[in-house]
């Protein structure tokens, strides 16, 4: 701010100084020209006046000489000296032959030795025209003199009466005149300078306001000059105000576009990375920062420093070389390994940088893998029962039906595998409905012990067949769950525990309160599950022992359905197991509101 004020001060003073200097220079030039013309005219006038005065004096003295008849030295010398004393001039009387008869500046005894004056310019001019004027250095007295001569008609021809005055007197008069002109010019210049300063100050005031307004507009475009003048300054102020209006409108539009573009970039799910002509990052949106766990400022750094991936760096280089977009799927290592589809394109202006759009396809690739695995698993699960049914049917068609025992055996095989296909299809449809959110879940407060007892009753025959004891050790706990979904979950977990535990085992259902959730546990004393299988146990078609699972009639979808149902009710599932000591499956469900209160 101080710097701006100093700049403004220098500018305003410089402007006034320039205007004042120009005006004073013009006045000074005008005064000098006027003084030159006036002095020249006065000089001519003074010279003419002096010459006329000398001529008049010479005429009067000539008249006196003629009147008294002073044609010889004796009569003329006293006369010329008397007149010389009166007019303070040198007076000379020249005879027709050029001889000096009398001279007020020369003693009488020296007159014979004085040079003949017949050839003097003023004498020659007076004889020819009656009057003569000349200015030169006197040969006789050796001084610069101004001569005025008058012709006198006398004895023997044309006489000349000459009056001379020193040129120094004229120079003194001329110097005094120049001094007066100089003093007057100086006073005039001072007056003109003062008036010019006042005029410049008045003229510079709106310009100074205009300058202050322009400096204020640098920080605030709402400032206006408010100068209402019908001159060029007023027109300039109006143009500046109009420029500020247009600039403010343009900046407003640019800010709105910037904010809109920023909101779009920040709301994009794809990561955006923009570099400048020097290959340094100038923009990275929120999605990119979250995708690569970036913290701090990334602007001004190389892309390879932000995303440490050589393939991405090569993409930027390839886009710069080809001047066109290029794309590639990248594998990003780090704390969160990612699969990213990167598309890099140069900015339209040559050498202006590049834009990279990175889409996280990790989940998409995982889903594609799941889909392939699902198709392969379904195909595999279908192949065995279909092959068995087809083989049994072909055997019966080829004559096996004629033997009652053989026919019964193969019919039983067809029925068993058909039942297995039926369960598989039902489980697939149910899992599909759950994942598509088509299964309606209606959570209501339920008594957990009653639901566990109902599941035990449903599986009582299966438990009796394997001589397995199912114990329910659940207290008075209420959960918020869908009854049908909770029954399905408990039944599935109990059924798995009964199937995979040795005959004569004990399966226990327990429950405990954990804050605002209730954890229900299904424990068995079976063979247990190796730790490497636990993370994938709830995946579709995943089996710890595929041969045994098919032997007991499992479809491989039960635990996946349990997980989806639990999550649909706002809960979670998990498993804890130790090889040789059994397994413990658990499900967390929200506590019913009534029990919370």
Among the residue ranges 76-90, 128-142, 264-278, 539-553, the one predicted with the least confidence is: 539-553
| Strand bridging mode 469-473 / 506-514 | parallel
Mean pLDDT of 525-548: 74
Assess whether pLDDT exceeds 50 at residue 11. no
CATH topology classification for 365-434: Helix Hairpins (1.10.287)
Region 350-359: mean pLDDT is 78
Number of H helices and E strands in the chain, helices first, is: 16, 17
In this predicted model, which residue has the larger pLDDT, 233 or 259? 259
DSSP letter (8 states) at residue 218: T
DSSP 8-state class, residue 432: H
pLDDT bin (cut points 50, 70, 90) of residue 587 is: very high
CATH topology of domain 442-596: Heat Shock Protein 90 (3.30.565)
66-123 per-position pLDDT tens digit: 888 888 888 888 888 888 888 777 888 899 988 988 988 888 888 888 888 888 888 8
State percent of the chain over pLDDT 90: 4
Q: 269-360 with 365-434: one CATH topology?
A: no
pLDDT at residue 297, rounded to an integer: 78
Is 237:225 a contact under the CB 8 Å cutoff? yes
Query: Residue with structure tokens 């506590």?
Result: 591
Asked if pLDDT for residue 13 goes beyond 70, the answer is no
Cα separation, 415 vs 462, in Å, equals 19
pLDDT tens digits for range 432-454: 666 666 677 788 899 989 998 99
Higher pLDDT, 32 or 543: 32
**Which CATH entry fits the domain spanning 2-172: 1.10.287.470, 3.80.30.20, 3.30.450.20, 3.40.50.150?**
3.30.450.20
Q: Where are the domains of the chain?
A: 2-172, 269-360, 365-434, 442-596
Q: Which of 5-9, 91-95, 337-341 has the highest mean pLDDT?
A: 91-95
CA–CA separation, 543 and 541 (whole Å): 6
CA-closest candidate to residue 562, choices 459, 463, 491 = 491
Over residues 126-133, mean pLDDT: 87
Of 108-112, 272-276, 312-316, 546-550, which range is least confident? 546-550
Q: Categorize the per-residue pLDDT at 597 as very low, low, confident or very high, splitting at 50, 70 and 90.
A: low
pLDDT at 588: 92
SS3 468: coil
Other C-beta atoms closer than 10 Å to the C-beta of 435 total 13
Between 7 and 295, where is the model more confident?
295
Tell me which CATH code domain 269-360 carries. Answer: 3.30.450.20
The full DSSP string for 310-337 is HHHHHHHHHHHHHTS-EEEEEEE-SSS-
Residue 484 CA to residue 373 CA, distance in Å, equals: 29
Least confident of 131-145, 417-431, 566-580: 417-431
**Greatest mean pLDDT among 357-371, 431-445, 533-547:** 357-371
**Model confidence over 34-78: pLDDT tens digits?**
777 877 777 777 777 777 888 888 888 888 888 888 888 888 888
Mean pLDDT of 133-158: 81
Q: How far apart are CA 251 and CA 220, in angstroms?
A: 12
- Let me know: does 223 contact 210? Beta carbons within 8 Å: no
Q: Which pLDDT belongs to residue 12?
A: 44
Looking at mean pLDDT, say which of 195-199, 278-282, 478-482 comes out highest: 478-482
Average pLDDT over residues 505-521: 90
Residue 8 scores a pLDDT above 50: no
The pLDDT of residue 514 is 87
* Phi, psi (degrees; rounded to nearest 5) at 411: -65, -40
pLDDT tens for each residue of 248-260: 888 888 888 888 8
Please state the pTM of the whole predicted model. Answer: 0.45
Q: To 10 degrees, what angle do helices 448-458 and 483-500 make?
A: 50
């Amino acid at each position: 701010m101080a710097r701006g004020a100093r700049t403004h001060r220098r500018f305003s003073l410089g402007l006034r100084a320039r205007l004042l200097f120009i005006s004073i220079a013009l006045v000074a030039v005008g005064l000098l020209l006027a003084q030159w013309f006036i002095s020249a005219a006065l000089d001519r006038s003074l010279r003419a006046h002096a010459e006329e005065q000398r001529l008049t004096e010479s005429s009067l003295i000539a008249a006196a000489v003629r009147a008294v008849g002073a044609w010889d030295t004796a009569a003329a010398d006293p006369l010329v000296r008397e007149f010389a004393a009166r007019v303070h001039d040198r007076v000379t009387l020249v005879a027709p032959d050029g001889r000096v008869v009398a001279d007020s500046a020369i003693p009488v005894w020296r007159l014979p030795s004085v040079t003949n004056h017949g050839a003097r310019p003023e004498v020659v001019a007076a004889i020819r025209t009656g009057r003569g004027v000349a200015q030169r250095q006197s040969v006789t007295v050796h001084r610069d003199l101004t001569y005025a001569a008058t012709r006198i008609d006398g004895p023997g021809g044309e006489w000349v009466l000459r009056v001379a005055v020193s040129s120094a007197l004229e120079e003194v008069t001329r110097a005094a005149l120049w001094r007066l002109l100089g003093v007057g010019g100086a006073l005039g210049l001072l007056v003109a300078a003062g008036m010019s300063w006042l005029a410049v100050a008045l003229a510079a005031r709106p310009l100074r306001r205009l300058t202050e307004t322009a400096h204020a507009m640098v920080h605030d475009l709402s400032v206006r000059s408010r100068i209402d003048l019908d001159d060029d300054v007023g027109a300039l102020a109006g143009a500046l105000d109009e420029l500020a209006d247009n600039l403010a409108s343009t900046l407003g539009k640019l800010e709105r576009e910037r904010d809109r573009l920023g909101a779009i970039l920040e709301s994009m799910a794809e990561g955006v990375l923009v570099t400048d002509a020097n290959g340094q990052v100038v923009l990275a949106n929120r999605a990119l920062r979250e995708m690569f766990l970036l913290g701090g400022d990334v602007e001004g750094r190389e892309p390879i420093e932000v995303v440490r991936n050589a393939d991405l760096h090569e993409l930027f280089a390839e886009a710069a070389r080809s001047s066109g977009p290029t794309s590639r799927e990248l594998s990003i290592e780090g704390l969160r390994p990612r699969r990213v589809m990167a598309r890099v394109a140069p900015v339209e202006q040559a050498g202006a940088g590049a834009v990279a759009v990175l889409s996280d396809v990790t989940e998409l690739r995982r889903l594609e893998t799941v889909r392939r695995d699902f198709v392969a698993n379904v195909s595999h699960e279908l192949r065995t029962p279909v092959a068995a049914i087809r083989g049994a049917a072909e055997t019966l068609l080829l004559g096996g039906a004629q033997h009652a025992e053989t026919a019964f055996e193969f019919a039983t095989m067809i029925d068993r595998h058909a039942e297995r296909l039926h369960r598989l299809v039902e489980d697939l449809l149910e899992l599909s409905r759950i994942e598509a959110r088509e299964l309606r879940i209606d959570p209501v407060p339920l008594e957990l012990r009653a639901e566990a007892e109902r599941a035990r009753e449903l599986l009582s025959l299966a438990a009796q067949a394997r001589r397995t004891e199912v114990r329910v050790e659940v207290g008075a706990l209420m959960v918020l769950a869908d009854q049908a979904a909770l029954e399905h979950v408990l039944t599935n977990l109990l059924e798995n525990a009964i199937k995979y535990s040795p005959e004569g085992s004990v399966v226990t259902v327990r429950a405990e309160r954990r804050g605002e959730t209730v954890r229900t546990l299904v424990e068995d004393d079976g063979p247990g599950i190796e730790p490497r299988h636990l993370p994938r146990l709830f995946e579709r078609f995943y089996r710890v022992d595929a041969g045994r699972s098919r032997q007991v009639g499992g479809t491989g979808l039960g635990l996946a359905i349990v997980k989806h149902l639990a999550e649909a009710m706002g809960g979670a599932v998990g498993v804890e197991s130790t090889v040789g000591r059994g397994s413990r499956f658990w499900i967390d469900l929200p506590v019913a509101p009534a029990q919370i209160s």
